[in-house]
Chain A
């Protein structure tokens, strides 16, 4: 799978998993590469870890959270880049 295809697959998975982790009753936000997890979605670091586990299930991969840097979870786009990188694809 190419890097672009993998990243697209990761973003699709984020769109699938993320709404279930947001507070009940919150309106479905517009999700894009630039959406910030904490500032825009109010996600805590633990909910971010729940997102990782959900993505692992959907993508059937294991994410090495030891490698995560704060910038990797600053936005959905950054997160997609990080996870696509974990999938070991080259662009």
Chain B
């Protein structure tokens, strides 16, 4: 079984209003109105003073486990869950720089991508598989997420959302008293490639279907779920998902959409931290992490956990 031993997130204090991004991104006043009024977007976090390795380290160093040498020694794998294929110019290697900073040079470190913003779920599942194959119950994997708005495509999801600079880190284990993975469902849908209009029209159905699939796998129904930790693209899409699932919208943690923006693959962990800070999860609660990744094609993913 895969479990989340510890989760941390770093959301920088800096914010920019979405209006300030309009000149650079060629957005019209009407487009900004749609983003504010319907999508629920307002400002996005920015951390211009930190490099990518520093941004990732800001979350990873908040993990109490990594402060202990005996825990660091058990980390066999470091997985960087990433939305964008390119995050730094050659020959910089942000992941390797991060592992050196964290004293994890002994671990196998690699990037997981190709599912865009749904990649964090894939990375957690992959970490669990690697640890299970490893055979050592004390072994750990570190999953990190977060990116800089390095290129134009890393600043905006057209007609959908704005990317935010933030980061997260998660220690994965094969056992643990809490945050046990009950189910994981993912669907990669190549038919959406090159058809953003179709993706917009059908993405709510894709997310609702994959959440239902994951819950069915876990032997649960939507009514059994205490909380959904979503990807923070916008509010209007999640309201559609809730209608399809007949799930109360106030049990989807959307507060960070307006105040942080879409933190690439880090959203689930950012929302998890918010849920813990606000005591929204109690022991034994079932919760869902769900995300959609767009381009090329689309991936819809959902995980069910027991807190």
B-binding residues in A (CB < 8 A):
38, 42, 44-46, 49-50, 53-54, 65-66
Contacts and interface: CB of A to CB of B under 8 A. Distances in A.
Given A44-B196, A44-B200, A45-B201, A54 B34 contact: no
Please give me the 4 A-B residue pairs with the lowest Cβ-Cβ distance, nearest first: A46-B159, A44-B197, A45-B200, A49-B34
25 contacts: A38-B197, A38-B201, A42-B197, A44-B196, A44-B197, A44-B200, A44-B201, A45-B197, A45-B200, A45-B201, A46-B159, A46-B200, A49-B34, A49-B38, A49-B236, A50-B30, A50-B31, A50-B34, A53-B30, A53-B34, A53-B37, A54-B30, A65-B38, A65-B236, A66-B239
**Contact-residue size bin, chain B (C-beta under 8 Å from the other chain):** 10 to 19
Given A45-B201, A46-B160, A50-B31, 5 more contacts: A46-B34, A50-B33, A53-B37, A54-B30, A66-B239
B120 to A, nearest CB: 25
Question: Of residues B30, B201, B236, which shows the largest number of chain A Cβ atoms within 10 Å of its Cβ?
Answer: B30
A59 to B, nearest CB: 16
Nearest to B197: A44
B248 to A, nearest CB: 13
Contacts of A50: 30-31, 33-34
Contacts of A66: 239
Nearest to A43: B197
Nearest to A20: B30
A65 B236 CA distance: 9
Interface of B: 30-31, 33-34, 37-38, 159-160, 196-197, 200-201, 236, 239
Contacts, number: 30
Determine chain B's interface SS by DSSP, over half rule.
Answer: helix
Nearest to B30: A50
A36 B236 CA distance: 22
A42 B200 CA distance: 13
A46 B33 CA distance: 11
Contacts of A38: 197, 201
A67 to B, nearest CB: 11
A68 B34 CA distance: 15
Nearest to A45: B200
B277 to A, nearest CB: 28
A80 B123 CA distance: 46
Nearest to B239: A66
Question: Of residues A44, A45, A65, which shows the largest number of chain B Cβ atoms within 10 Å of its Cβ?
Answer: A45
Contacts of B34: 46, 49-50, 53
Nearest to B33: A53
A50 B37 CA distance: 10
